[in-house]
Amino acid sequence: MARPDRQPVRASGRRALLGAALGAAITGLSGCAGGGITVRARGAPTPANTVPTVVLAPWGWSSDQVVQTMIRQTVAKFEASNPGLRVQVVPGSGCCNATADIASIIGGLEADVFTNNNFGAFAGGDYLLPLDPYLRRDNLPTTLWSRRQIDSFRTSRGLFALPAYFNVQVYIVSLSLLDQAGLAYPGPEWTRAQFAQLASALTTTRGAVRQFGCGLQWGIASDGQFSGEGVLRSFGGRLVSPAGTQCLLDTPGSIAAGRWVYGQILWPGLAGGSFANQTSAMAPVSSCCMMGLIGTIRNSFKWDFYPNPLGPAGPAAFGGSQFYAINAATGHPDLAWEVLKWLSAEPDYQRMMTRLKLASPGLNSLWPEWEHVVQSVAPPLQGKAVHWFADAAQQGYAYPFPSFRYENVQAQGLLGRYLNALNGHQLSSVVGAFTEATAQIDALETAASHAAPGRPGAPKPFPAAGPAIAKVVPGL
């Protein structure tokens, strides 16, 4: 897959400071601010002779008054264009808290339209409203968004979510540390092997300070999701079959990726250190984290963005699975669809969040604008190769979290235990660990596929006890 080595978009005109730019963005938003938050029972019928109300728990909501003002103003503009609809904005359960959202749906308290980033937790139940009929009715093509992200929201029963934004990972590299070590800068087509060589050369001790060569997007995240799909794909592997019913860790490509992670990256260079403090030379960085990045790194040393290194199967990177969905219990499905469509398929809300939080868009068409905005309002990003974020999204090599069809939470728990055992060198081989994990996850999926159909109850917790893992001599 070709990756154009083009120059970053340059900001034109006056380069405003971030605070001034955000202030101008707030001033430029037309429409009246919405009122205070009031909560009605989710899915309750709208009283007669009143405008129907769709309850929205949007991505980006926080206690910050500037954020709340901009969200309310943007929603007010949408309401003005849709006089037969009122949108009531409420705080959500948190974009990473799938358990709380599912519990709210079961209890009848979830918003009509809400956001989350763990689609797999919802995939096995009847929690979400199918969207394919609406897409067909409105002739809305899924090519508006990243194909990889859209695919991550599908199950065998159809499409159940649309992107809230697209969080894409590239690498940030300390050019200063490369200079100090007398090493050449990597090129845009650097490989996994070259990455490993640099990681090895840059893992060292400077006085009393331990310097780590690299970080990796690999393992089980705090919300239970596997973050290494990009690494697997770059070797021709993957975690989950297209149907979501089989684990593919035991396939040659996945095993090759595991061997690369555990065999070529020096320990403890796999993780650790702080890029901002220059104790980590190379680190994965996500497009959703630009605000934090520019606040900690600035330009106190030389650095730049690079694409993820090429594996034998080509380019591959981590991509986020942040989504908007419609609560299946909504009392206003058609109106909820209009809100969801506005959030995800139209530019207003995403454009506002780009200006407010430098959030990277879900819509493919907004990536050039995102590049321009982040380089215009954030001086530390001027001249940096931010185009690699857009490249991964638009060229289709950013892969979101995959999910299993039936027992995703349990499967991720099992996977986490095996990866942790490998991290601690408690297993004899990558092949053995991946083969055992595959067999146990496949057994979970097979058993669940024979269970009686129906909507599950409360989400299952991660397993308290994992498979029997023998502590043996480390090896590959």
DSSP assignment string, 225-255 = -B--HHHHHHTT--SB-TTSSSB-TTSHHHH
Q: 3, 389, 436: which is closest to 187 by C-alpha? A: 3
Q: Is residue 195 situated within a structural domain?
A: yes
Whether residue 237 sits in one domain with residue 98 = no
Examine the domain organization and report whether 49 and 145 are in the same domain. yes
Nearest-5° Cα angle at 355, 354 to 361: 10
Both 179 and 264 in one domain: the answer is yes
Whether 270 is covered by a domain: the verdict is: yes
Residue 266 phi, psi dihedral angles, 5° rounding: -65, 140
* Pairing verdict, β 282-286 and 169-174: antiparallel
Residue 457: inside a domain: no
Same domain, yes or no: 270 and 410: yes
Sign for the CA dihedral angle at 174, 179, 182, 184 comes to: positive
∠ CA(145), CA(316), CA(276), 5° rounding?
95
Q: Is 395 a domain residue?
A: no
**Domain range for 370:** 18-166+322-379
Which pTM does this prediction carry?
A: 0.82
How far apart (Å, rounded) are the C-alpha atoms in residues 116 and 321? 8
Which uninterrupted H or E stretch holds 405? none
Question: How many whole angstroms from its chain centre is CA 406?
Answer: 21
pLDDT at 51: 82
Render each residue's pLDDT in the chain as its tens digit; 476 residues: 443 333 333 333 322 322 333 333 323 333 333 333 333 345 555 555 578 999 999 998 888 899 999 999 999 999 999 998 999 999 987 777 888 898 889 889 899 999 998 898 888 788 999 999 999 999 999 999 999 999 999 988 899 999 999 999 999 999 999 999 999 999 999 999 999 999 889 988 878 888 888 888 888 877 677 889 999 999 999 999 988 899 999 999 999 999 998 875 545 545 567 888 888 899 899 998 887 787 777 668 999 999 999 999 999 999 988 999 999 999 999 999 999 999 999 999 999 999 998 999 999 999 999 999 999 988 889 899 999 999 999 999 999 988 898 888 889 889 988 888 887 777 778 999 999 999 999 999 999 888 745 444 334 433 333 333 333 323 33
Q: Is residue 345 part of a domain?
A: yes
Q: How many domains does the chain have?
A: 2
179 and 250 housed in the same domain: yes
Q: SS3 of 361, please?
A: coil
Specify whether 254 is located in the same domain as 284.
yes
Residues 6+ apart with CB under 8 A from 327: 42, 43, 105, 110, 111, 112, 113, 114, 127, 128, 129, 336
My answer on whether 147 and 257 are in the same domain is no
> Rounded to the nearest 10 degrees, what angle do helices 18-28 and 65-81 cross at?
30
**Torsion from C-alpha of 65, 68, 72, 75, nearest 10 degrees:** 160
55: nearest Cα among 86, 82, 88, 84? 88
Q: Do 313 and 353 have their domain in common?
A: no
Query: Domain check: are 129 and 243 in the same one?
Result: no
Specify if 1 maps to a domain. Answer: no
Separation of alpha carbons 88 and 332, rounded Å: 13
154 and 34 in a common domain:
yes
Characterise 13 by phi-psi region: left (phi > 0), alpha (psi -120 to 50), beta (else): left
Contact 286, 320 (CB under 8 A): yes
Please report whether residue 390 resides in a domain.
no
Burial 56-87 (b: 16+ CB within 10 A, else e): bbbbbbeeeeeebebbbbbbbbbbeebeebbb
Domain contains 224:
yes
CATH of the domain at 61: 3.40.190.10
SS (H, E, C) 83-138: CCCEEEECCCCCCCCHHHHHHHHHCCCCCCEEEECCCHHHHCCCCECCCHHHHHHC
Closest residue by Cα to residue 275 from 175, 156, 140, 127:
175
Residues 242 and 217 in one domain: yes
pLDDT for 16 equals 31
Cβ–Cβ < 8 Å for 269, 213: yes
Residues 45 and 132 in one domain: yes
At residue 120, φ and ψ (nearest 5 deg) are -60, -30
